[in-house]
A = this chain, B = another copy of it.
């Protein structure tokens, strides 16, 4: 059975025998028309191929029902997890998510923001690119549509609503745990591409100093190009282990991907990190990357609460869209990380 194709609501109204304005109301809320007409329209729709034109639909509305999400990288399970939670939360709230990936390129990030503005999205969630982001873009965005920063936040944007993990606290948690169980940790940093990494590093340093330990940070120099975190972690730790350094220390990695590289460097040197191991060699990460339970040994890490962050950022954005609680200082929501004890530390 071939359904006849119908392009406009006008045609549809003829085909069904109902006026166009009535159809229009039906599509926006089927309960806004009498039940008998509602049934009549439903029956008609089954016999026909019709999809309302998205553009025409949204053009006249104050609200487009869309929220834009800018995500910096696709090839990182951390971000995809976050994006997934955001999409699900937005879907729940009846919004359509348009996501754009900046592919490590500030120019693309800027263009994505531009696209959102021209599409009249009701609001945007921005997971910033990092240090390279073009801050002017955010300022521009700010003046035109509600937006919330997620996961990380440039130091120059402290006046914007923000949802993320309390890195200070979570890093403390881990540092504290490592100190309690053995030698105070060394921090394996990553190239300065991201604000969170710095926050964690700072938190580590503060915590160590406060407890009378001497902080040691390695891996701040760029060894591998770009976002090859695993390769970076492997190269840095390999270099030190080759010199016989840190073979009986805890290595606290800036994130799990770095830690995965570090695990490999350890294996190459015949070291098996773990709290059960003699000698006190241990490796810990941060983020609870989905693969952590499957590394060898399984990686001890701090889990970020993706779901809470995703949900909270969407809800807050919707609040702003609706003009609720928009006076006063920017609303900052920080969620606690959870220590995931596995094998490696």
Spell out A's residues near B (CB within 8 Å): 5, 49, 51-59, 74-75, 77, 80-81, 83-84, 87-88, 91, 96, 98-99, 101, 103, 108, 114-115, 117-120, 140, 143-144, 230-231, 234, 260-261, 263-264, 267, 290-291, 293-296, 298
Contact = CB atoms under 8 A, between A and B. Distances in A.
A302 to B, nearest CB: 19
Contact of A98 (B87, B98, B293, B294): B98
Contacts of A119: 54-55
Contacts of A81: 74-75
Contacts of A59: 53, 55-56, 59
A84 B77 contact: no
9 contacts: A52-B118, A53-B59, A80-B80, A84-B101, A96-B115, A99-B99, A234-B294, A261-B294, A295-B295
Contacts of A103: 84, 87-88
A267 B119 CA distance: 52
A114 B114 CA distance: 25
A119 B52 CA distance: 9
Nearest to A55: B55
Contacts of A101: 84, 87
Given A53-B59, A54-B115, A98-B98, 14 more contacts: A51-B144, A54-B120, A55-B55, A55-B59, A55-B119, A80-B80, A84-B103, A87-B101, A87-B103, A230-B293, A230-B294, A260-B294, A264-B294, A264-B295
A291 B260 contact: yes
A328 B230 CA distance: 47
Contacts of A264: 294-296, 298
Contacts of A291: 230, 260, 291
Contacts of A87: 101, 103
Contacts of A84: 74-75, 101, 103
Contacts of A263: 294, 296
A88 to B, nearest CB: 7
A77 B289 CA distance: 12
A342 to B, nearest CB: 12
Contacts of A144: 5, 49, 51
B88 A80 contact: no
Closest 6 CB pairs between A and B? A55-B55, A54-B118, A74-B80, A54-B119, A51-B118, A230-B294
A98 B112 CA distance: 11
A35 B298 CA distance: 64
Nearest to A298: B264
